[in-house]
Amino acid sequence: MTKKQKKTLKRIIIAAVLTAVLALLFHFAELPWFVQLVLWLVPYLVIGHDVLRKAFMGIKSGEVFDENFLMAVATVGAMGCGEYAEGVAVMLFYQIGELFQSYAVGKSRASISALMDIRPDSANLEAEDGTVSVVDPDDVPIGSTIVVKPGEKIPLDGVVLSGESTLNTAALTGESRPRTVRPGDEVISGCVNDDSVLRVRTTKIYGESTVAKILDLVENSSLKKARAENFITKFAHYYTPAVCIGALVLAILPPLVLGGGWLTWISRALTFLVISCPCALVISIPLSFFGGIGGASRCGILIKGGNYLEALANTSIAVFDKTGTLTKGVFAVSQVSPANGFTEKELLEQAALAESFSSHPISKSLREACGELDARRATDAQEIAGHGVRTMVDGHVVLAGNARMMDDSKITYTKNTGTGTVVYVARDGQFLGSVLIADEVKEHSKQAIAALKAQGVRTIMLTGDSEAVASEISGQLGLDEYHAQLLPADKVNRVEELLAAKGKNDILTFAGDGINDAPVLMRADVGIAMGAMGSDAAIEAADVVLMDDDPAKISLAMKISRKCMHIVYQNIVFALAVKAIFLLLGAFGIANMWWAVFADVGVMILAVLNAMRMLIVEKN
C-alpha cells in the first residue's frame, strides 16, 4: 500500500469512528439542528475535503462535470437538507470505493513492474587503460566496451568480446530459458548475466537498444485505446452533464407543476446524482485493458495498445510465415543415408570436409553435425554454381552436391525422397550416400495450431519454400491450408485476398519473423512478430511482439484478449442496467440515499473486482 493510500485509509477509519459515535449520540440525545450540523461537519470534512477541493478546482478550470462535482453537490445538498448522516455516509463510502480502485490500479501496475525492472540502472564502462567506471547507460557511446558482472542486467545491446556465461531471459520472454553466450555472440539489453564476467562491445546507444524500445512500447500502450474505452470516454462526456440537468429538472419541475414539496424533490434529485455517478465504467473499463496488457507482458507478450487487445478477441483467420515462425529457421541434419559398405560417420565426415570452405547455412549444418574437423585435410575447394562443391580430401576427389552434380559426373546414386535439401556425396567417382538437411519444426508449433483451431480460428501458412516442404510441414502441423513458392510480394497479395474475403467484423492476424515480413505485418489487421529478441524490425512493424519465438503464445494472447473483452462487456451491461433501474427508483422516491450508495460505490467495487480478474493469467 502506498503512502497516499495509507493516508486515505487513516482518514476513512477516523471518519467512520466519528460517524458511529455521532450516530449513537444523536440516537440518545436531542440537540439543536445547528449543533448537529457543526458536529457532522467534522467527519464530513475529514473524509471529503479533497473531493470538495477537486470539485472546486474543476469548476475553476472549466472541467465541471466529473465524479467529484457530482459527489460534492449531492453530499453538500444532503447536508443542507438536514440529512447529515446520509451526506457523511455517501462521502465515506465513496472514499472507500476510491481507495479500493486505487489499490486495484496499483496491483495492475505491479503486474508489469517485473518488465519495468529490465531497465538498467547503470553500466560499467571500461576505459582504454583497463579501468572501469560506473556511468549512466545513456552516456555510453557505440563501440564502447562495458563489463557485465554476474547478477547484473546487460544495459546495452552488443557483442561479447570475452567471457562465457549463461543469460537469464525471463524478464523479456516471461519464462526462464537460459542462453549460453560466448565471444562473438550478440547479446541484448534486459537479460541478466548469471555465471561469469562478460566484456561486451556496444552496438547501439541506450535510446535505440532493445530494452529502451520495449519500455517505450509498454509505457505508451495506454495511448492506443480500444473502441470500448473510447465509447466510455465519449459516453461519460455527454452522460454526466445530462444527468446533472436531469437532476436539476427533477428538483424544480415537479414542485412547480404539483405545487410544494420542494425538500422532497430536492432530496430525490440529490439521490439521483449519487446514483448517476459513472465511476464503475470510467474506472473498471480502462483497468480491464490495462490489466490485460500487463498480464500479457508478464508472459512475454507485448501488446501495443487496447485497440490491438480488443482486435485479437475477434480473430478468425491466423496466417503464418513458415521459416522462423513455425520452424526454427535453422538448418540441421535430419537423416544420414550411407551407401553399402560405408558408415554414417564416414559419410558425414567426407561431406563436412568437402563443405568446410563454404559459408552456406547447409555447409554449416554439416560441420556442426560432424563435430571436430581438421580442415587441413581439405584443399582445392571449388564451388560449382547450382550443383555443389568439388574438394580434395586426403588426396581424393570428393563431390558434395545435388542430383544434377551426380548426373553430370556420371555417378550412379540412390535417390533420397525425403523432404528437405539432399546433399549427395561421392569420392573418386564412387557414391558414398546422401545427407538430408531440413529446417526443424518448433516444438510448440503443432500445439499452437491445435489451440487456435480449438478457438475456431482458420490457420493458413504462407512460404517461399517448395511445394513438397510446405505440404510436409502443413500435414505435420495440421494447418487448414498452405500456399508455397511465394515471393514477398506474393505473400502481400495473398493477405490482401484474405482480407477482401473475410467478414466485416472478422480479424486477420499475421505472424512473421518481423524482418522479411514487415510489409505483411503492417498490412494485416494485427501483425504479430515472432522471435523478436533483438529484432528492431519486429518491434517497429508489429502490433503484438512476442519476446521469444514460441508460436503457442499467439493462442495465449487471444485467450487473454477474449477474457478481457468478456469482462469489459460484463461491466458495461451490469453497471448500466443497475444505474438505469436505480435512477428510475430514485426519481420516483423509492430509492433513498443509502440505496444510492450501493448503486454507485457498490457497483464500482463489484466492477473493479471483476476487472481485477485480468491480473490472473493462466499460461496454459
76/597 Cα distance (integer angstroms): 15
Residues contacting 395, CB < 8 A, separation 6+: none
Chain centroid to CA 218: 8
pLDDT for the residue 20? 93
pLDDT for the residue 304? 84
Residues contacting 309, CB < 8 A, separation 6+: 226, 289, 292, 293, 296, 303, 560, 561, 564
> Which residues of the chain are modeled with pLDDT < 70?
105, 107-118, 171-177, 215, 217-225, 514-516, 531-539, 619-620
Q: For residue 321, indicate whether it is catalytic.
A: yes
pLDDT for the residue 109? 62
Assess contact for 543 and 308: CB atoms under 8 A: yes
Give the single-character DSSP code of 370. H
pLDDT for the residue 25? 92
Short-list 252, 251, 258, CA closest to 272: 251
pLDDT for the residue 296? 84
Short-list 619, 618, 614, 620, CA closest to 110: 614
What kind and span of H or E run contains 212? helix 210-219
Assess contact for 355 and 370: CB atoms under 8 A: no
321/510 Cα distance (integer angstroms): 8
pLDDT for the residue 220? 65
298/198 Cα distance (integer angstroms): 27
Short-list 316, 287, 176, CA closest to 229: 287
pLDDT for the residue 192? 87
Residues contacting 105, CB < 8 A, separation 6+: 287, 290
Per DSSP, helices labelled H in 326-399 are 344-354, 361-370
Q: Which of 157, 321, 465, 525 is catalytic?
A: 321
pLDDT for the residue 110? 61
pLDDT for the residue 534? 47
Residues contacting 232, CB < 8 A, separation 6+: 281, 282, 285, 286, 572
In Å, how far are 43, 290, 328 from 174, measured between CA atoms? 47, 18, 20
pLDDT for the residue 237? 76
Q: Are strands 544-546 and 526-529 parallel, antiparallel or unpaired?
A: parallel
521/539 Cα distance (integer angstroms): 11
Q: What angle do CA 41, 43, 45 make, to 5 degrees?
A: 60
* Orientation of helix 279-298 relative to helix 552-587, angle to 10°: 170
Q: Which residues pair with 180 in a beta bridge?
A: 166
